Amino acid sequence: MSGREQTVMDDKQAARAEEVRRQTGIPAWVSVWVGRQGWAAYANGILTVKMSLTPQVVIPIQDITKIDFKPSGGLTNGHIRFNRATDKFGDRQDIIFSAQDEAIFAELKRTIEQEQWRGVQGQRPESPRATANNPVNPAGQDPDDKFRAKYNIPAEALLARAKGVGYVAFDGHFVTIQQIGLGRLTIGKGVKRIPITAISSVQIKPPGVVMSGFIQFSIAGGNEKTSRFGHQTMSAVEDENSVVFVKGEEKAFLAMRNAIESAQRALHQPAIAHQATPVDDVFAQLEKLGKLRDEGIVSDGEFEARKTELLSRM
């Protein structure tokens, strides 16, 4: 690729990055990489990944266990994949890129690996379980711990459980539904995971004196069946996107609905938090900037602007 062609590609990448900033509110000082399917942003130990069909995920880089990088071929695109300790609840994030963008994603891989080597730590986002007013038992023992272990439900995921029937778990990005006990006789014993971007509505019917209540998820593009009046609960029993519960269990399911709806609202106004920069790191960067200014590589104006920005992050 000639120098002129490279300049054109750099300009296109910059334009795409600027469009991502405009849509998401990402600050100008945060680096952004845009691929064919998805984008990534990084600053101060926090990597944000947005794939085409899923909501954006905020990952502290100390949680990334491995970065897979596949270069593009003659007829195929490449990809960069960020792996975390477990992938049971969608912890693997992939961005697909073309040959023209391969170099910038190789740069992203080097950046993250260098930051990990330096020991940079990012602040973990608050889990849905904590934000849904569903705290761990003060004594340190969650009464649902054994249940979580049995069904491989992460400790940080919000859980709404209908004893002997099934459960709904939410990790901030995916809703997981599993029928257990008698529920398996009607629906089956599979585990269903639904990205919150695919959920168009969440319906809850409180339990009554005689009839059970239920939580039901409507899926965008799905064939939704309208229940007859007085038969909503019976219809929910046969619906794989529903879990039926009894009186005394509704509080957890109401908290589940609120947490999912809050996460969906947040998708429309995402933002990357400005994390504090360690004092030593600020001074080290100021020293480097000073040398670049003295060598004439950075102008006095650029030096002052960058200095102000760094000092504001202390």
Asked if pLDDT for residue 114 goes beyond 50, the answer is yes
Q: What is the pLDDT of residue 87?
A: 54
**Exposed, middle or buried, 168 (CB in 10 Å: 0-12/13-18/19+)?**
buried
More confidently predicted of 273 and 301: 301
Which pLDDT score, from 0 to 100, does residue 224 have? 53
Return the percentage of the chain with pLDDT > 70, whole number. 74
User: 0.75 exceeded by the pTM?
Assistant: no
Q: Out of 147-156, 170-179, 239-248, 278-287, which region has the weakest mean confidence (pLDDT)?
A: 278-287
Name the pLDDT band for 213 (thresholds 50, 70, 90).
confident
pLDDT at position 95 over 50 = yes
51-78, pLDDT tens digit by residue? 876 777 888 888 888 899 999 887 888 9
Per-residue pLDDT band at 275 (split at 50, 70, 90): low
pLDDT at 30 over 90: no
pLDDT of res. 139 = 40
Phi-psi region of 278 (alpha: psi -120 to 50; beta: other; left: phi over 0): beta
For residue 1, the model assigns a pLDDT of 43
Q: What share of the chain is helix, strand, coil (3-state, %, to 5)?
A: 35, 25, 40
In the numeric block, the tokens 């990790």 are attached to 171
Mean pLDDT, to the nearest integer, of 73-84?
A: 86
Of the chain, the percentage scoring pLDDT greater than 90 comes to: 15
**Residue 21: is its pLDDT beyond 50?**
yes
User: Is the pLDDT reported for residue 119 higher than 70?
Assistant: yes
Partners of 32 in beta bridges: 41
Give me the pLDDT at residue 211, please.
77
Q: 174: closest CA among 252, 256, 102?
A: 256
| CA angle 239–240–241, rounded 5-degree value | 90
